[in-house]
C-alpha cells in the first residue's frame, strides 16, 4: 500500500478555468495483484482537448483524464518488468495500478530527453509523419502549406516537409510562433492569419501553388488553400478546428477539387501503427541531428498541473506543455 | 464544293432562349484538301453547358459550339477512310471539313443504336464508370448514394452500382425522374430533393450508411451525405452543380471526413483513357443485356436544333437530348 496524489476537477469552470476549479487530493494506492503493475508517473501531458471535457464527460471528484509517461515500479504482469518506461492514458495521478490495458512499453533513446516522447516522438509526431507521407503522398521537393504550423502536429509536419526538400509555407496565429517557425524551424514563408488577409498572403507566399495542404483548420483556411492547389494535389485532413460540430464558416470552393483532381482524405493517428517502426527510426535520427526543432514548456512538480492547464488555455505556453512529476 | 446548313446564335438571349435568338444559315463547304476529311453529321448533342456560353464565348453569326457523331464522306487523310463513323466537337453544322484534329473514329456495334455513343457509351458513360469504379473504388455489394441520379452521368453510375450488386439510393429533382429511377432503372430508393427534406430522407433511405457517394451537387447534398458516410467511405467528385463559382451554400460537415477516414477526390473523364477499352466492352455488354437503361429525346431534322436547345433549357427532355441530322 502506498499513497498517490491526484488532480481532481472539483467544479465545472465558467469560462476560463481558475485555480479553484481544481484540487490536489491524496489517495491510497493498493499493491498490484496478479496481472497488475504499479506505475510511477514521470511526465504528464496537458492538452487543449481537455478544456471542453471539463464541462462534459470529466467526472467531478476523480482524477483528470489524460496521458503521460511513467516507469513500472512493481509488476505482477509478465508483459512488464520493473524499470520499463511506459506510455499510458491513466490520468493525472502520481502513481497508479493497472492491468496493463492501454499501457505500452517505449524504448527511450538515451541521447534524447524523455519528454520528446510526449510530442515529436509521440502521437502528434506520428500523426504528422503518416498524414504527410502516407495520406499526403508527399514527394521530395513539392510545394507544401501547413495550417496551424505552430501547433504540436503542424510544427512537425512542416519540418518533415523541409527535410524532404520541400518549399514550406505555414500559417499561425501569433507573431511569436511565426518568428519561431521562420527563424528556428526554417520555414520558407509564414502567415499570421490573425494580422494578414489569409487568401492574399497565401497567394503571395505560394508562387508555385500548393501540392500538399496539411489541413488542421477548415473553413476559410480550406477555401484559401483550394484556390492554390496544383493539379493532382493532396489535402490530408488532420483536423478542422474552425468547423468542428458544423460551426464556423461553410466551405465554398470545393468545386475546385474537380478539375484539379484534388484528393482530400481524413485520417487519425491510430491508422499509422504500421508506420511506427519507420517513424521512430526517422524521427530519432532527425531529433538527434537537430533537424526537427521543438519547444516545450515544462513545469516541475505534480501539483503544478492546474497551473499548466490554465496557462495552456490562456496560451502562455511555447510549444508542448508538460508537467514533470518525477525524474 | 457542297453546301451545309449551320445553326447560328444571332443575338444573346435575355433570360430563357427564344427561337428568334437562333438562325439556320446555309454556307458553302470547300472540298477537302490534302490531309483533310469531309464529314456528314449524323447526330448532334444538345447539352446544358451550352446555355451560359450563349452569353459568353459563343460567337454571334457562327456555328454553335457542340459535339456529335458523323460519317466521313470524303477523305484526303490517311487516318480516315470514307465510311468511318467519327466523334467530333465541330459544332452544329450539317457537313464540315476537318484536318482530323479533335475527330476520333468509333466502331459502333451493329446491335446497338448509334445514339448510345452520345451518352451511355460516350463521355458521360465513361465518366460514371471511371468515377465509380476507379476513383470511388467501388466494391461489390456496397452501399451507394448517387446525386442527380436522373442525369446523364448519374443514371449510368447508379445502374453500374446496381450491376455490381450494391444497394443504391439516388436523388433527383422531379417525380417523373424518380419514377423512372425506381421502376425502370431499379434503384433501391429514390429521393426527390425538391419535395422531401433531403437529410431526413437520406437517413431513412440508408439504414446501412453510405460507402460511396457519387457527388454531382455539393452544398446541402454533400453535407447530408457526409452525415451518412461509413468509415473509409469514398466520395468521387464528378460535379458540384450547386456550388460552381463559389455560389450556393457553404459546406459545414467536412470535419466528418476525419474520423471517418473519408476519401474525397475530384476527377474528369479525360483521366480515364486507360479505362476506355474495358469500359466499351463492359458497357456494350450491359446495354445489349438491357442491364443499363436509358432515355433519349430525339428530334429529327437538323433545323430542329434550336427547338431542342430551348426544350432542354425548359426541362422538356426525358434523358439525353439528341438532334438526328441524317441516317
- List, for residues B89-126, the tens digit of each pLDDT value: 999 999 999 999 999 999 999 999 999 999 999 989 99
Percent of chain B with pLDDT over 90: 86
B contacts of A268 (beta carbons < 8 Å): 258-259, 261
Q: Cβ–Cβ of B267/A261 closer than 8 Å?
A: yes
Listed residue (B82, B116, B182, B187) closest to B145, CA to CA: B187
What is the location of CATH 3.90.180.10 in chain B? 2-119+294-324
More confident residue, A216 or A245: A216
Give A153-162 pLDDT, tens digit per residue: 999 999 999 9
A134 Cβ under 8 Å from any chain B Cβ: no
| Whole-number average pLDDT of chain B | 94
Residue B47: closest CA among B126, B123, B149, B109: B123
End-to-end CA distance of chain B: 22
At B259 the pLDDT is: 92
CATH of domain A2-119+294-324: 3.90.180.10
Helices A276-289 and A152-163: crossing angle in degrees, nearest 10, is: 80
Whether the CB-CB separation of B199 and B230 falls below 8 Å is answered with no
B13 to chain A, closest Cα gap in Å: 27
Q: Does B195 touch chain A (CB under 8 A)?
A: no
In CATH, the number for domain A124-271 is: 3.40.50.720
Measured between beta carbons, the chain A residues lying within 8 angstroms of B250 are 249-252
Interface test with B, best of A246, A271, A272 (most B CBs within 10 A): A246
Among B218, B244, B246, most A C-beta atoms within 10 A, so best to mutate, is B246
CA distance A311 to chain B (A): 28
**H-type alpha helices, B74-139:** 123-130
Contact yes or no for B265 and A264 at CB 8 A: yes
Q: Among partner residues A254, A259, A265, which is closest to B251 by beta-carbon distance? A: A254
CA distance A248 to chain B (A): 8
Residues of chain A with pLDDT > 90, as a percent, come to: 86
Distance from CA of B235 to the nearest CA of A (A): 10
Residue A249 has pLDDT above 90, yes or no: no
CB under 8 Å to A281, separation ≥6 — which residues? Answer: none
pLDDT, residue B70, reads 98
Q: Are A147 and A214 in contact (CB under 8 A)?
A: yes
Q: Scanning every residue of chain A, which has its alpha carbon at the shortest distance from the alpha carbon of B232?
A: A266
Q: Provide the pLDDT for residue B245.
A: 53
CA–CA min distance A308, chain B (Å): 29
pLDDT digit string (tens) for B13-65?
988 889 999 999 999 999 999 999 999 999 999 987 788 889 888 999 999 99
Q: What is the DSSP letter of B30?
A: P
- Tell me, yes or no, if B262 comes closer than 8 A to chain A by beta carbon: yes
The reply to whether B153 touches chain A by the CB within 8 Å rule is no
- The pLDDT tens digits of the residues spanning A186-207 come to 999 999 999 999 999 999 999 9
**Chain A contact probe: residue of B258, B261, B267 with most A CBs at under 10 A:** B258
B9 CA to centre of own chain = 23
User: Contacts of residue B218 in chain A, CB cutoff 8 Å?
Assistant: 254-255
User: With helix as H, strand as E and coil as C, how does A141-167 read?
Assistant: CCEEEECCCCCHHHHHHHHHHHHCCCE
Q: Judge whether residue A244 has pLDDT over 70.
A: no
- Please tell me the predicted confidence (pLDDT) of residue A117: 95
CATH 3.40.50.720 boundaries in chain B: 124-271
Q: List, in sequence order, every beta strand (DSSP E) within A120-216.
A: 143-146, 167-172, 189-192, 210-214
- For residues A60 and A51, is the Cβ–Cβ distance under 8 A? no
Write down the pLDDT at residue A81: 97
Question: Quick check: B181 and B146 in contact, CB under 8 A?
Answer: no
- As a residue count, chain B comes to 327
DSSP 3-state of B175: helix
User: What pLDDT was estimated at residue A245?
Assistant: 53
Instruction: Indicate yes or no: CB of A266 within 8 angstroms of CB of B257.
Output: yes
ipTM over 0.85: yes
pLDDT confidence tier of residue B231, bands split at 50, 70 and 90 = very high
> Cβ-count burial of A16 within 10 angstroms (0-12 exposed, 13-18 middle, 19+ buried)?
exposed
Distance separating alpha carbons of residues B158 and B203, to the nearest angstrom: 18
Q: Which residue in the set A218, A265, A268 is minimally distant from B263, CB to CB? A: A265
* pLDDT tens sequence across B157-203: 999 999 999 999 999 999 999 999 999 999 999 999 999 999 999 99
In this prediction, residue A247 has a pLDDT band, given cuts at 50, 70 and 90, of low
CA distance B219 to chain A (A): 8
- Pairing state of beta strands A210-214 and A143-146? parallel
Residue B246 has pLDDT above 70, yes or no: no
pLDDT, mean of residues B244-253 = 74
Residue B262 is nearest to which of A254, A258, A266, comparing CB atoms? Answer: A266
Tell me the backbone φ, ψ of residue A146, rounded to 5 degrees: -120, 125
**Mean pLDDT lowest for which of A304-313, B244-253, B292-301?**
B244-253
Chain A residues close to B245, C-beta within 8 Å: 255
Residues of A with Cβ-Cβ distance to B239 under 8 angstroms? 258
- Which residues 221-240 on chain B approach chain A with CB closer than 8 angstroms? 222, 237-240
Nearest one of A218, A317, A51 to B256, comparing CA atoms: A218
Is B259–A243 a contact, with Cβ atoms under 8 angstroms apart? no
Query: For position B15, what pLDDT does the model report?
Result: 83
Cα gap B6→B3, rounded to integer Å: 10
Q: Chain A residue with minimal CA distance to B246?
A: A252
* Mean pLDDT on A167-189: 96
Mutation test of the interface with chain A: which of B245, B254, B263, choosing the one with the most A Cβ atoms within 10 A? Answer: B254
Beta carbon pairs, A and B, within 8 Å:
101
Amino acid at each position: 500500500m502506498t499513497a498517490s496524489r491526484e488532480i481532481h476537477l472539483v467544479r465545472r469552470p465558467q469560462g476560463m478555468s481558475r485555480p479553484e476549479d481544481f484540487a490536489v487530493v491524496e489517495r491510497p494506492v493498493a499493491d498490484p495483484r496478479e496481472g497488475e503493475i504499479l506505475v510511477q508517473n514521470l511526465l504528464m501531458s496537458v492538452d487543449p482537448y481537455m478544456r471542453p471535457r471539463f464541462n462534459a464527460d470529466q467526472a467531478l471528484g476523480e482524477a483528470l483524464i489524460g496521458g503521460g509517461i511513467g516507469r513500472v515500479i512493481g509488476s505482477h504482469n509478465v508483459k512488464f518488468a520493473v524499470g520499463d518506461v511506459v506510455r499510458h492514458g491513466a490520468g493525472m495521478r502520481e502513481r497508479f495500478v493497472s492491468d496493463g490495458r492501454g499501457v505500452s512499453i517505449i524504448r527511450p533513446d538515451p541521447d534524447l530527453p524523455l519528454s520528446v516522447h510526449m510530442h515529436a516522438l509521440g502521437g502528434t509526431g506520428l500523426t504528422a509523419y503518416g498524414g504527410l507521407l502516407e495520406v499526403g503522398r508527399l514527394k521530395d521537393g513539392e510545394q507544401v502549406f501547413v495550417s496551424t504550423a505552430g501547433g504540436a502536429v503542424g510544427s512537425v509536419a512542416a519540418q518533415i516537409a523541409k527535410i524532404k526538400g520541400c518549399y514550406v509555407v505555414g500559417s499561425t496565429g501569433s507573431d511569436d510562433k511565426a518568428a519561431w517557425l521562420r527563424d528556428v524551424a526554417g520555414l520558407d514563408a509564414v502567415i499570421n492569419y490573425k494580422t494578414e488577409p489569409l487568401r492574399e498572403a497565401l497567394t503571395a507566399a505560394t508562387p508555385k501553388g500548393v501540392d500538399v495542404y496539411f489541413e488542421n483548420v477548415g473553413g476559410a483556411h480550406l477555401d484559401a488553400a483550394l484556390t492554390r492547389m496544383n493539379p493532382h494535389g493532396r489535402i490530408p485532413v488532420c483536423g478542422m478546428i474552425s468547423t468542428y460540430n458544423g460551426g464556423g464558416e461553410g466551405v465554398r470552393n470545393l468545386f475546385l477539387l474537380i478539375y484539379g483532381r484534388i484528393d482530400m482524405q481524413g485520417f487519425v493517428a491510430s491508422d499509422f501503427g504500421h508506420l511506427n517502426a519507420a517513424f521512430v527510426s526517422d524521427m530519432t535520427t532527425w531529433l538527434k541531428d537537430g533537424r526537427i526543432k521543438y519547444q516545450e514548456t515544462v513545469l516541475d512538480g505534480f501539483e503544478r498541473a492546474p497551473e499548466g492547464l490554465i496557462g495552456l488555455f490562456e496560451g502562455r505556453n511555447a510549444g508542448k506543455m508538460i508537467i514533470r512529476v518525477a525524474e
